[in-house]
Homo-oligomer: A and B are copies of this chain.
Amino acid sequence: MLDDINTLDLQYMTDIPDQQFHQNRAHPLRLELFTDLYELTMAQALFSEGLTDKPATFSAHFRNLPSGRNFLLACGLDTILEHFENLSFSDDAVSYLDSTRLFTDSFLDWIKGFQFTCNVRAIAEGTPVFPDEPLLEVNGPIIEAQIVETFVLNQIHLQTILASKAARIVSAAGGHPVIDFGARRAHGIDAAVKAARAFTLAGISGTSNVLAGQIYDLPLIGTMAHSFVQAFPTEEDAFRSFIKQYPESTLLVDTYDTLEGVRCVVNIAKELGNQFKVKAIRLDSGNIVALAAAARKILDEAGLEKVQIIASGGLDEWMVSELVDKGAPVDGFGIGTRMIVSEDNPAAELVYKLTEFSGTGKLKTSLDKKTIPGSKQVWRSEEDSDVGDIIGRVNETHKGRPLLDVVMVEGKRLPESHVPLGLSHRYALKEISKLPKQIRNISVAKIPYPVVISDKLKEFQRKVLDEIQN
């Protein structure tokens, strides 16, 4: 196949060399080159046309709700603003760009001095959002606002779909703690780390991911693996050894036979008497409804009413909801794969579109992908009788609370844009609680959350459309 590449001869293609690839490190520290090539070649073309500083506005919004979602929970803004504030092109990056032979010396000189000077308005992390609502509007010199597209989309998309999925599982758990066990199945290290933060925003109670714990100061939680149990002559030996070190452990009881595992815990409790401080057992396989009931019975009969039961193993919001509905005596949920890859909907249509350039509204008319021009505001009404959002032009006035705030001015974050995660977390739970019940439910709402486009914005869209078509 590789030999056939030249039959297409797409632009910018270089050969795949046979010599050793230099995988510098698992994680590059600098991210200025994390961008689609066209962001840079378009920048070069705009630069050559003298359009570098012409003002543009870009909007990041979801085109629609992924199937099975009643709302999305905005997340990722903090990562974006940090990136904007620190964005510059290192000598190493410029020299790589030079090596592609796609850029002029004067453009490379310009990019060496690159600084991000745009203004940013955004909806706060932890706010439920709906299609067409700008999570983020970037306004400033077109090259600067354009060049960050790939990064903005990558991080807002990832963090928002993960926070949105976690919110569903937290809702299904009906007050029981939900723990992130997903690091091993996340799509890479960045996703695993950002997931733990997004999940915390959405209401989970802790993560097993130590690196995320360090970076974001999150509660760390861990139990034990089957391999640990297997490394000892008997299950009881393994439990004894572990609680010698960690008396308040959660013991994994399903390596061999789950209920035998529970009986081992009971034996140890009898032996240790007052010294027995085990907090919980974990069930990781089999029919959790039946096993949790049987385990609870064994524990209670031995006077171990205080020992809790944690369920894990392939759980999602539907299974958690079933366990809760059936009254299974489960005290907490460890959730892995299905939350951390948002398995039923691992992607959503987040886009970053030019809506204004040089003072003129802009839109595309591509089939099924039409956009709404201009800078916008979203007003949210939360009164029962009148719940819903209005998307309007930025300078309109409507009832309800405006959701977009200025968070960055000329490339500098406003102090209030630094929101502690604990605050965002409480804000998110409050905002979710204000949504109509059927929107908070994990089932698809029969009536979607009401979002209307203001008359003035519709009129503006028509006007811009007319200008393009004439």
Contacts and interface: CB of A to CB of B under 8 A. Distances in A.
Contact of A5 (B19, B102, B185, B205): B205
Contact of A365 (B39, B41, B45, B256): B256
Nearest to A354: B227
Given A27-B28, A48-B245, A308-B8, A154 B34 contact: no
A357 B225 CA distance: 15
Contacts of A256: 364-366, 468
Interface string A162-200: 000000001000011101010111111111111001001
A432 B258 CA distance: 42
A154 B192 contact: yes
Contacts of A51: 231
A40 B40 CA distance: 43
B184 A187 contact: no
A29 interface: yes
A285 B369 contact: yes
A34 B225 contact: no
Interface stretch (A9-17, A129-137, A317-325, A444-452): A9-17
A222 interface: yes
Given A10-B332, A210-B36, A284-B366, A18 B422 contact: yes
Contacts of A14: 219-220
A231 B357 contact: yes
Contacts of A150: 183-184
Contacts of A369: 285
A346 interface: yes
A404 interface: no
A134 to B, nearest CB: 15
Contacts of A213: 33, 37, 96, 100
B223 A38 contact: yes
Given A46-B231, A216-B23, A223-B38, A186 B184 contact: no
B149 A184 contact: yes
Contact of A27 (B29, B45, B187, B353): B29
Nearest to A145: B227
A241 B49 contact: yes
A44 interface: yes
Given A8-B177, A12-B220, A191-B191, 11 more contacts: A10-B279, A26-B83, A27-B31, A34-B209, A36-B184, A37-B209, A54-B231, A58-B227, A188-B188, A230-B354, A286-B366
A-B pairs with lowest CB-CB distance, top 10:
A37-B222, A188-B190, A187-B187, A227-B354, A38-B222, A153-B184, A188-B191, A187-B191, A346-B346, A190-B190
